[in-house]
Every structure is written in structure tokens, then in C-alpha cells.
Amino acid sequence: MDLGLRDAVALVTGASGGIGAGVARQLAAEGARVVLHAHAQPAAAERLAQELPTDCLVVGADLRDEASVAGMFERVLGHFGRCDALVANAGVSQAHGKSVRDLPLETFEADLAVNLRGTFLCLREFFRLVERQRSGRAVLIGSTAGRFGEAGNAGYAASKAALRGLMLSLKNELTRVAPFAAVNLVGPGWVLTPMMHGVSADEVLASFQTRAIAAGLPRPEDVAPLVAFLCSDRCARYVCGQSVYVDGGMEGRVVHAPDELAALRREIEKIGR
């Protein structure tokens, strides 16, 4: 399927690795000219730019800072003259398994600063651009944590949940300035990315085995095609204000957890005695 993205300009935040890099590769494969945003790992974004088959631009910006975000969009316009799609992917998770009871305020706010405020600042700049261009599509990268919650990760879950409300508000405003402009949200579940560094394999497997239906964990390349589709005016023209989850059929609750089954087995055995 030709998504009609050839020569379109797409800005991907947090493009130095993980889902962001996968989305950048997919968009470039569709012929889009990709802007790779990076903050902490600019060298990784530069290496990715060398790999992509289309004209690319690497931009650095602290998404928590208004002036830095405005400067990023100025660079994009100075280089390409337009921006047709924004993929707001950059995100952090700082809690490292801390309960809300023990979660420092600064850690909670650090997640919100990047995941929510940073996304808002990017969307605000993009909105102003869409108003001038009379076109544009945005895709927010949410998370199943924002849909179901996630123990030990309250800041991340809260910030990702807030993205849906932001998206639903923005979609009602975008159509007033550009009839076929759109914003949607893609919410991955567990994805094999560097963000999982520091999370034990046992924790990942326990969550996966008790919550998802599909076999195997997705990779960035399993998420990227959906994001590219939603960036397409041609193929997703009437798709707006939607939240689509790439989670293998996650239930959002523990289903048949091994420890619960063991306890139930003991209760059943007692009855039979």
C-alpha cells in the first residue's frame, strides 16, 4: 500500500532509539523526509540519519523548555519549509518500581515534564503550523500504562493517561483550522526497547504471561507501520481522535497469575479432603 508520504516532512521526537527509531525507519521507507529529534543521545540520531534513504535532519532540543521546542520547529521550517506530520514519541520513566507511597515528588514531576509538558509544547507549535499550512497530522505515542495503570510506575502512567485527554481536546480544535488535519494516539504495551533496561526479565514475563493474549513481545517495527499509516492523509484521512493499542490483546488485569492459581489449588484440595 502506498501511503502517499513521499517527500512529506515528518518530525519524530525521541528518535535516537526504540520506537522512535523504528518509526523513523518506517517513514523513510515510505519516502518521507524525516526530522530526528534527540536530546540525551544525539550521536545515536546522527548514526540513524546516515542509515536512512531519504533527506534527514537531526535536531537537538530539551522538550521541557518552551524556547528549545520553538527553536526546534524553526530549524525544521528553515531546512524543509514545512512539517506535515509530528510523531510525539519522546518519553521517560523514572520511578523504577517505587510505590506511590515512596515516590518522590521530583521523580513524579520528571515523568510529567517530558511525557506530558514536552508533548504539549510540541503540539502547540505544530498546531500553529497546521493553521498556516491548512494541513498536518500528529500521532502521540501513549502506553497501555495510561489505559490500565501500572504499579510502581505512577508518574509514567499518569502522564500517558493525560495524553488521551490532550489528544481528544486537540482533535476538536484542529478541524476548525484545517478540515482534514488530525491527531491520534498509539498505545504500545511492553515493547522490546532500551526503556526496558533495568526491568528484570521475570517481571516482564510475569506481566506478559498474565495480561496479553498474543505470543511474543512486540518490537518497534511492530508499532511503526500503524504510526506511519496514521501520518497518511491518503489512507487515514477520516481517522481522527482515536486511541489504538498495540498490546497483543492485553486484558489490563492479572489473569490466571501463577501464585493465585497455586493458592486456589490449595483451597480446592482442602475441600476434597
Residue numbers annotated as active site: 156
Residue pointed to by grid coordinates 489504538? 244
Q: Which residues contact 147 (CB under 8 A, 6 or more apart)?
A: 161, 187, 243, 245, 252
In angstroms, the Cα distances linking 100 to 105, 112, 153, 196, 271 are 10, 15, 8, 20, 39
Contact 23, 87 (CB under 8 A): yes
Q: DSSP label at 115?
A: I
Please give the single-letter amino acid code of residue 203. Answer: E
Q: Give 148-210 as a DSSP string.
A: H--TT-HHHHHHHHHHHHHHHHHHHHHHHHSTT-EEEEEEE-S--SGGGTTS-HHHHHHHHHH
Run of H or E residues at 36: strand 33-38
Helix (H) or strand (E) holding 35: strand 33-38
